[in-house]
Amino acid sequence: MNLEGRPQYTDQEKYDFYRLAAKRFKAETKLYGYTAAIHIENKNDEIFWGKILRQALPNKKFRFITSSRSIGGNVTCGCTQCLHYKDFLDKRFWIAIDSDYRYLNQQTDVDAQHFILQTYTYSFENHFCFGENANQAEVECCGEIKFDFVAFLREYSRIVYPLLVWQLYLQGVSPEAFPQRVFHRLLTLPIGARATENNGASLLQILKERVRKLETHFRKQYPEADPTWYEARCQDLGVHRDNCYLYVRGHQLYDLLTCLGKRLRQERKQKEPEIKGGRSFENFLTSHLCFGQYDEIRRLVDDAVKLGSD
């Protein structure tokens, strides 16, 4: 029985540990002829970053590191583990992470200049959820568009946008007033039997009512609040009422779209019983990205091109 608890490491010990680990990654990169090694958050991210790099740098070869040892000796993944290497990055060793709110908060030194790729959207899932991509997945999976994901996500964004601004505002005023976990629960919507009818009208109504209640609560709790500065800042960063679905937690959004796609596929099979098997909506959704069609992915590809240039 260990009564001593976890060992405590000094900042210098941590610095030296991750410096040496980064040195090994760089040596292996050179040995095996890679352009660079890239530490990503986990294995699930590899499909996304692979598509980005093939688009940006088709003639370059990269090694993905999906996890690495922590100073305590455990195999560890995630954004925090990636950022442990922040001081040791260069042309041969990068990290690639979800932005979360880093882009919206304009966090310094998380950029291509410091050998860091970020999604700009909340996470990589948001890119797969781009409206035109979801519509294309529906066509490939269901043969036609019965549910317009572009229109649905535009309305979804318009409903959610005020709360995104409130959260950014309250982060600096009273962080516990609107923690991200509350926002995430609010975005988790039930997929009922009529979810796909009228372009998701029932889902949007549930979301609208949740937002209305919470926004009313904030206005009562903070009568002197003025989130307009944050709204103006969002506009400057390219976040507006029609596209803020790219900046809310991608996991919730991805689950919502894949559930809707699965329901649409089931409805088609009920009408056309001869259809058996085939690829799922989710499989089609993650099979490609809409390169060049929106600012966030254009910025990301541009960053990758800068990092990979000789």
* Per-residue pLDDT, 5: 61
pTM, entire model = 0.94
SS (H, E, C) 218-251: HHHHCCCCCCHHHHHHHHHCCCCCCCHHHCCCHH
* Per-residue pLDDT, 268: 85
Instruction: Quote the CA–CA distance of 231 and 235 in Å, as a whole number.
Output: 6
Closest CA to 76 of 41, 110, 48, 50: 41
The residues, any chain, with a CB within 8 Å of residue 108's CB and separated by 6 or more, are none
For the chain, the C-alpha Rg in angstroms (whole number) is: 22
* Per-residue pLDDT, 270: 82
**What is the rounded average pLDDT for all residues in the chain?**
94
* Per-residue pLDDT, 276: 65
Beta strand pairing call for 62-65 and 93-97: unpaired
* Per-residue pLDDT, 275: 67
Q: Which residue ranges of the chain lie beneath pLDDT 70?
A: 1-6, 274-277
> 205-219, pLDDT tens digit by residue?
999 999 999 999 999
* Per-residue pLDDT, 4: 54
* Per-residue pLDDT, 278: 74
